[in-house]
Structure 1
Amino acid sequence: MATKKIFPTKSSASLTPWLCIAALVILIDQLTKITIAKTFQLGEEKVITTFFNLVLAYNKGAAFSFLSDSGGWQRYFFTGIALAAAVFIIYLLKKHSGQRMFSWALALILGGAIGNVIDRMVYGHVIDFLDFHWPGLGHFPAFNVADSAICIGAGLFILDELRRVNR
């Protein structure tokens, strides 16, 4: 007589820390966006240093406001892409949960993607507030914690691939 396993398998149990990292990214991202949205008016800027401001900006597009003036369809398009990517990332995390750098990269990207999906679904746009600039060179497009996690995750992913190729 076959018995069912009532405890999670090793692969599903090892998925938990990576999902917790993604959840932490989402939490920090949403808390910072809520704080900025409640503290600032749209376009309001607070100078922090000679190269950094806090500013409330809305982005209806993707990175660097790509397709932000496209009439609204992009909200659902980018949400769909992010949700499909999230499902694929969870599959990869489950399959490769023992590969630490790869899984860190995926967890950060997952958390960032979901953080921005929440904005798109709740507000119809992504809330950005980190504004870096250099005298004479202008302002870098404003971004947020989710965007930062995605970029760090992408960097770790590239680093992991480079390490793998060199082995």
Structure 2
Amino acid sequence: MRALFGMAGAVFVLDQITKIYVVHWLGLAEKLRLDVWPPYLNLRMAWNRGINFGLLPADGDAGRWVLIGVALAISMGVVIWMMRGAHGVWARLSAGLLIGGAIGNVVDRVVYGAVADFLNMSCCGIDNPYAFNVADIAIFAGAMGLVAFTGRDNTP
């Protein structure tokens, strides 16, 4: 379980440091946009009150707390799942990615009322209107890792 909690802690810290740096220190909350390496990497401030890509927006306090509760319940469920089964290190690292990202976004919802998204990437003539953050990357990678590294054929 050390791998799970170590990864979760590292992702959480990296996520929060990048958010503090970009949103506050670089002032993206006021500037709203900074071009880093257009069009491949830009910083675009987006306060996400819903789930991924702003889907199912939870504009009120009740919706925000429901999303917080769901994220915490899923995180706890993944921890219990990992504790009860014989999972390999890659599965535990994947669980840590997912949990660290989820907790990072939970902290945003508690502190700001929304998740601070700021990374925007476009390529090849396609203008991507969506923004994301380090936690979102970790959640996606963790979910994919859990799919890949758990199951009957993936025991240690």
How far residue 75 of structure 1 moved from its aligned partner, in angstroms, is 0.9
- Specify the alignment match of 2:102 in structure 1: 113
User: In terms of mean alpha carbon deviation, does 94-103 or 59-68 score higher?
Assistant: 94-103
* Structural mapping, 1:60-71, within 5 Å: 60-68=49-57, 70-71=59-60
Q: Which has the larger radius of gyration?
A: 1
User: In terms of mean alpha carbon deviation, does 71-80 or 146-155 score higher?
Assistant: 71-80
Report the Cα distance in structure 1 between the residues aligned to 2:57 and 2:87, rounded to whole angstroms.
Answer: 38
| Structure 1 counterpart of 2:77, from 52, 74, 88 | 88
Name structure 1 gaps, 5 residues minimum.
1-14
Query: Does the residue aligned with 2:50 lie in a helix, a strand or coil?
Result: coil
Name structure 2 gaps, 5 residues minimum.
none
TM-score normalised by L of structure 2: 0.86
Q: Which amino acid aligns with 1:83?
A: L
Q: Is the Cα–Cα contact under 8 Å of residues 97 and 103 in structure 1 kept in the other structure? A: no
Q: Which amino acid aligns with 2:11?
A: V
* Structural mapping, 1:1-167, within 5 Å: 15-38=1-24, 39=26, 40=28, 41=30, 43-68=32-57, 70-96=59-85, 98-161=87-150, 164=153
Report the Cα distance in structure 2 between the residues aligned to 1:87 and 1:24, rounded to whole angstroms.
Answer: 18
Query: Does the residue aligned with 1:139 lie in a helix, a strand or coil?
Result: coil
Q: Which amino acid aligns with 2:43?
A: L
Q: Which amino acid aligns with 2:47?
A: Y
Percent identity of equivalent pairs: 33
Q: Extract structure 1 runs of 4+ deviating beyond 4 A.
A: none
**Residue deviations 1:6-60 (CA, integer Å, cap 9, x gap):** xxxxxxxxx2231111011000000000111111225223232432112222111
**Equivalent residues, number:** 151
